[in-house]
Structure 1
């Protein structure tokens, strides 16, 4: 016992060291994910250290935007834990393959790792949904086996059936031989051999036997030797090898052989029980319902803004998003270990670019002895051209490949043909493209320019045309109303963007996290402010169609609040008359629709009146944006201080945690005649809520 404990201690210390080294390595290789990595390692520690104590699989859910490193982190973790040969990756999003592909992969687990610790990754898990977009349960059952895996880790699959029909036909044929008087001893035909040979040749059970086979009586084997491996492949759990199959058959008579084949066929029809109860299962998915900002694909959105927004996503929000795709009992099977990936910050993107360039430089130097250097201008160019905050790292790596990797072959060739092998290569960005200087002893001896159109840079340039002027006025309208009506400064306003179909936008992050009735019309006015600003500056006849998205958003926002949130005059959840909405109230008299229109009219009038009052601020902001592509928060604040009319800068809201509700509650409790608290119990005229803490005793 003492030796066992010592050995167990040594094994435990070894595994702990591997686990901590994995934590360190992952943090080095995956930028901006330290907290995620700590949570992952902590979540799997018990499984890795004590897998024999596990009776059900450990489920770890990783949710995040595309391209943030979920799949690659899990794969790398399997390597660091020395589980790469026991790591199984399932792509739930593969169309057209479904359950067959999953079962085929699970065959490998059954054959090689059944009942032992394994790592599994269920990637693109959002596609395993069982509730459709309309909230109706789907009849598709192709992922049913996945839910069995997530429950107990034990499930049954049908055995691989290729070749079963051949074996069945052989059994029938051998049985007919016996009925015709053929006798078998130790696996060989001992009576009526001639009849057996003729019939076998007619039925083409085996190829025509040559003279050598006849002399050795191999063609008189009751079960042809070619079937040994087939029987072993179909029922290998029952045999040590195909030689074991041969040995057993060569001990049998005719009826015994037929019974042998019948038992093999019966076994083949029985299901296999795959045992992953000691497994570690990673569920990887993208939940757009939780990452609402993921639908904005603009490269102009500030990465840090997306990063801050993604940090606000919590576990209840993840579970709410899951309820739109899965049944409650299925969500329960996923457990409570939900790790939320943040989007990448600007600093993280910059670090990823630097790490990839360093990796390229090391690889080239190791392979060719050539030193590469990258100036800051190239780093900045790669960020501008490659970073789309909601799309993760994939566009970054693609851009690096196009601007750097794709040039290396021609640069090394140039170095050799021009006898520049004593130089190092310096990459830098220019307006025309990427410039590569061949430098020796601090002096440039040769230079190559790769002309390249930088699409995003071109799109971001100020055009100083009518479109930019229209956009400037439109976005300035949103910004002014955000400041005056909502007391919130926009983070940034753009009048030119790289996004196709979107000339500009104003981004404001309200510092409170709720919507009250008193602010609804104000919010709607901000949304409709672009149209109102165009009308005020250019006149009604010159208003453009650029506000179509704003109008749709305002209408949907108002309708949702009235129909679903009881913010209008009506009580209940309203819906259109439909067989799919039987749990709703129907707006047969169009009361809700009338209220939506009334709200929109009120909001439009408020927008017009406010912008008219703040026309100087509007024009100054629009004028600036007609020449420059962006206006930042600090610049907006200065303009508001200088040009806003009857506006107190101290009323701007920076922190929305204590605006009204908490203070109002405390004041109401403190008023004479309000219910009093006595020693932890809240006394009410009708009920008493016990709020005492339970002691551990």
Structure 2
């Protein structure tokens, strides 16, 4: 029966709570993830003896949100550094000299059944099926699935014990022969203490809770007795027990995060990305896993899936403030010089360092590039002139970092790397982009009755990823058609205001997405009355000939192009006014867009990011049924 040490449990509870506070202080924007993680590991940390299976926690999110760092900080604060392993499994190349999880954990000395933490990072690289759903050949780390199943790893080798016994018995037999012949005993045949090499191997084979240095005091006869006892009890043949191992699995599942492909986008509002990532559910994660692993393998990941949202604007601002404070503290500690910055430096770093999909790494790099590199030039002058304070700001008008050192003001010409790309856009390019984006916006407001949360034309990349839907749209036959029109509206707006010969190629990504939706409309969802079978099944026995649907998709696109032209023609004055305002300002806030729309009788509401646009199904269901046949 387990003995309950209440004092120890209370002490561990206090340590868990202390760890939680430390993690929340260290990380920004992931407090709910930290709370959930600490809840998941509570039993493992307080009373691991109760566990019959290992605790498996999956961490999913886009790059740079702190998945791996969270685990490392957790290990540090729980003081598990000596019982922690990071393992990257991959089907590409040679991950390590090991070819099994068991050998990796054996190298770390984790086969003793005691609590430990193992992080399997970047697990998406260990996919067992390809993009077509075909099974990939695998020869390495196949016991990973065995570990996830019940926490036990079968033993593949039992030769060390028999080898030790055979050598011992051989020496004993040689000694007996010499004694029977009256010969002098050979020193090599006389019993002694086990060697360091034997101690290391036998400690693993017998799973002994002893230090190697203590085992050097064990005689060979005593070790033989221990081996024979273990053999009689059969314990050496039992699977290696890892039920007290905390298994953490981390990875990037792009299939679950719709916006992960927009990694180079620096101008989309971070809050829009955040709103979409908060909508990722357990089922989205499982669907994404099923595109990389076989169903029986996905089941072994368990049901504890913690999904990281991308960072919000306020999270990035908090990180920038922290990083500036770090530089200030470091500068004062090394030089005794006080660094004072104003908000213009924060804004400069944000504009040039925040790529919402890429997480924190570009931001940290930009702090070094913008602040620390330029500060190093000023420190030498301040130290030479015995200046104890440097005031730092950024002037957008003069495009310079302005430093005040005592009574002297120094200006260093500087344009952020991303700002420079934005500024390189000529006024003609800005006008072109403004019309394109306004076309999307007008169509979106007319068809969905919602104001876009972001409208910007002075951007670092022209149409890099196409139009970004800022709200969550419940997909129906109608919304699919309307989404296609919104995608088409950017290029068509250019044709209406500039003429079809001057329409730019910036429509490429929009057209690709519109075509994908049209293909799904016909082939996947059966919304086209002419094609009711599903044409998207990939496995060979059920694969349909998609060629027969191509002409229907093309006719549908032609029809929707015509309808979108008609729609924008009806609201061309609103389109023109919005385009002019956007060209002049470079960026319009939501209320400004709404005000222009109202002037031209476009009814559109301002809703927060992630708002679900869905028909009033519940109200319709409450109404009396009036059957009029099929509509």
- Settle same-fold status: TM greater than 0.5: yes
Q: Answer yes or no: is the 8 Å Cα contact 1:63–1:287 preserved in 2.
A: yes
- Alignment partners' CA distance in 2, 1:667 and 1:61: 44
- Alignment partners' CA distance in 1, 2:352 and 2:339: 21
- Alignment partners' CA distance in 2, 1:156 and 1:148: 8
1:461 maps to: 423
CA deviation map 1:402-440 (0-9, x unaligned):
2233455554443333333xx1233322454544433xx
1:154 CA displacement: 1.5
2:449 maps to: 487
- Alignment partners' CA distance in 1, 2:10 and 2:221: 53
Indicate whether 1:62 and 2:16 are aligned.
Answer: no
Q: How does 1:85-164 map to 2 (within 5 A)?
A: 85-92=82-89, 95-97=93-95, 100=99, 102-109=101-108, 111=109, 114-156=112-154
TM-score by length of 2: 0.84
Larger-Rg structure: 1
TM-score by length of 1: 0.77
- Alignment partners' CA distance in 2, 1:103 and 1:76: 25
CA deviation map 1:278-313 (0-9, x unaligned):
111111111111111111121111111111111111
Q: Answer yes or no: is the 8 Å Cα contact 2:339–2:389 preserved in 1.
A: yes
- Alignment partners' CA distance in 1, 2:215 and 2:426: 85
1:470 CA displacement: 2.2
Q: Answer yes or no: is the 8 Å Cα contact 1:485–1:522 preserved in 2.
A: yes
1:116 CA displacement: 0.8
Change (3 A) 1:249 1:460: same
- Alignment partners' CA distance in 1, 2:18 and 2:382: 41
Q: Answer yes or no: is the 8 Å Cα contact 2:480–2:517 preserved in 1.
A: no
Change (3 A) 1:183 1:343: same
- Alignment partners' CA distance in 2, 1:659 and 1:425: 58
- Alignment partners' CA distance in 1, 2:544 and 2:112: 54
Indicate whether 1:638 and 2:605 are aligned.
Answer: no
1:585 CA displacement: 2.8
- Alignment partners' CA distance in 2, 1:139 and 1:447: 66
- Alignment partners' CA distance in 1, 2:213 and 2:309: 54
- Alignment partners' CA distance in 2, 1:236 and 1:295: 50
Change (3 A) 1:517 1:653: farther
- Alignment partners' CA distance in 2, 1:242 and 1:455: 58
1:185 CA displacement: 6.4
1:82 maps to: 79
Deviates more, 1:243-252 or 1:97-106: 243-252
2:493 maps to: 533
Change (3 A) 1:650 1:611: closer
1:694 maps to: none
SS in structure 2 at match of 1:140: coil
Change (3 A) 1:571 1:223: farther
- Alignment partners' CA distance in 1, 2:326 and 2:341: 12
Indicate whether 1:30 and 2:31 are aligned.
Answer: no
1:492 CA displacement: 1.7
1:661 maps to: 617
SS in structure 1 at match of 2:542: coil
Deviates more, 1:361-370 or 1:128-137: 361-370
1:650 CA displacement: 6.7
Q: Answer yes or no: is the 8 Å Cα contact 2:68–2:250 preserved in 1.
A: yes
- Alignment partners' CA distance in 1, 2:573 and 2:553: 31
SS in structure 2 at match of 1:479: helix
Q: Answer yes or no: is the 8 Å Cα contact 2:178–2:184 preserved in 1.
A: no
- Alignment partners' CA distance in 2, 1:138 and 1:505: 34
Q: How does 1:441-590 map to 2 (within 5 A)?
A: 444-446=406-408, 449-461=411-423, 463-499=425-461, 502=463, 506-510=467-471, 513-569=473-529, 570-575=531-536, 580-587=539-546, 590=547
- Alignment partners' CA distance in 1, 2:351 and 2:417: 10
1:106 CA displacement: 0.6
Q: Answer yes or no: is the 8 Å Cα contact 1:492–1:506 preserved in 2.
A: no
- Alignment partners' CA distance in 2, 1:148 and 1:75: 25
Q: How does 1:117-516 map to 2 (within 5 A)?
A: 117-156=115-154, 221=188, 228-237=195-204, 273-297=239-263, 298-407=265-374, 410-420=377-387, 423-431=388-396, 432-438=399-405, 444-446=406-408, 449-461=411-423, 463-499=425-461, 502=463, 506-510=467-471, 513-516=473-476
2:231 maps to: none
Deviates more, 1:514-523 or 1:591-600: 514-523
Q: Answer yes or no: is the 8 Å Cα contact 1:310–1:342 preserved in 2.
A: yes
- Alignment partners' CA distance in 2, 1:584 and 1:657: 34
Question: Structure 1: which 5+ runs fail to align?
Answer: 194-216, 257-269, 439-443, 674-697
1:15 maps to: 12
1:538 CA displacement: 2.1
CA deviation map 1:635-667 (0-9, x unaligned):
22111121x3xx452789897566332222221
Change (3 A) 1:521 1:403: closer
1:521 CA displacement: 3.2
Q: How many residues align?
A: 605
- Alignment partners' CA distance in 2, 1:585 and 1:38: 48
